[in-house]
A and B are shown apart, each in its own frame.
Chain A
């Protein structure tokens, strides 16, 4: 299962105020960290899968 969410970001990794609502500023960097973590986990799962396939005797 692939997850290809790369190629876009939200103001880099810095604390970055990107918008203001009536009640105050909205910070997107938390969202960025969340998605970055998900992508890194997907990358680790992918490489682990490939590593297992190397030693797998059966073919799909």
Chain B
């Protein structure tokens, strides 16, 4: 493991043992918060029921505010025998619906669980997921949570370039986290968390409902921080995948990333700089540097063209050719790599445009947080996704 002292609070001992003697006796509860997911909820539940080692309990918590019309998500969840379906309707203006749904499910059905699996209602787990997660917790008593490897199926996302760049990006994120041996985000999209760690996190969430807090836009990042601060290791599972959807429009992608970036920056400002946040601060610094270089390069190019001083030399083509070749090599790491991934890597332009977008939401999010804006980024994302 790299930078172990930054991975978790090494000064704290975690309680042992926190699991039954045999893995097959472990009580596993799956929590699925759902907000207008009638198209995919059935597939998500079926993927859990088809596990080699199914969860002992599956809980679907549908949530919406009073002003939103209910869809069929709750009805579909109810139709599965053995699945516990809960329908939460919040007063108008209630925020953090996902965290509230998770807390409700945990409080009523997950408090005594040895392991809690959390997955989004549009995510599918392969058959080995729960079994492998249980084994991981038995193999390492320090393990507090294990995130899945996000995989976007090409055939589920059509042949859009915007999906290809996200596939490449997620593959790199996963690769880096696996190499490091730990992560600072147990992504809510699909992860498993040790029950004892959640019980402890419930005492530090700032509410009486459960482990998830209502003061963060990125509730998974915030929870992971508290789990790590309690002395637990959080990692990306080397074997468990989670098949999920990509953002399919520029508007939806922008809204999703603004929520992530604004939430992360806001939380980092609250948490400050310490061993556990050092990596995230370094990533923010790297983001600033990249944004500066990209925007600076563009401005300098425009100015030099305007002044007529631009001179082209063929030797400069070495750079784009070099990056095209290396991107083509790295594209092979994308799970279920297709020819479209390879073409996207060699073409360079889509990834360059994506990098400029990234610089955009990076700077915009920092500006928003520093100006004290408290925009409800969840609502903005739902609107841009049309749900």
Contacts and interface: CB of A to CB of B under 8 A. Distances in A.
B285 interface: no
A39 B319 contact: yes
A58 interface: yes
A12 interface: yes
Interface residues of A, number: 34
B310 A10 contact: yes
B351 A2 contact: yes
A19 interface: yes
A53 B304 contact: no
A18 B293 contact: no
A60 B333 contact: yes
A60 B290 contact: no
B23 to A, nearest CB: 22
B238 interface: yes
A35 B172 contact: no
A16 B309 contact: yes
Contacts of A50: 326, 329-330
Contact of A60 (B178, B293, B329, B355): B178
Given A6-B317, A9-B311, A11-B304, A46 B335 contact: no
A47 B312 contact: no
A36 B36 CA distance: 49
B309 A19 contact: yes
A23 interface: no
Interface string A1-25: 1111111111110001011000000
Contacts of A58: 178-179, 238
A38 B294 CA distance: 10
Contacts of A60: 149, 170-172, 174-175, 178, 333-335
A58 B181 CA distance: 11
Contact of B304 (A18, A34, A39, A42): A18
Contacts of A34: 296
Interface string B344-356: 0000100110010
Given A3-B355, A4-B348, A59 B333 contact: yes
9 smallest beta-carbon distances between A and B, as pairs:
A6-B319, A18-B309, A60-B174, A60-B175, A58-B178, A6-B320, A60-B171, A58-B238, A4-B323
27 contacts: A1-B172, A1-B290, A2-B348, A3-B294, A3-B323, A4-B324, A5-B319, A6-B316, A6-B322, A7-B319, A9-B311, A9-B312, A9-B316, A10-B310, A10-B311, A11-B309, A12-B311, A19-B303, A34-B296, A38-B289, A46-B330, A50-B329, A58-B178, A58-B238, A60-B149, A60-B178, A60-B333
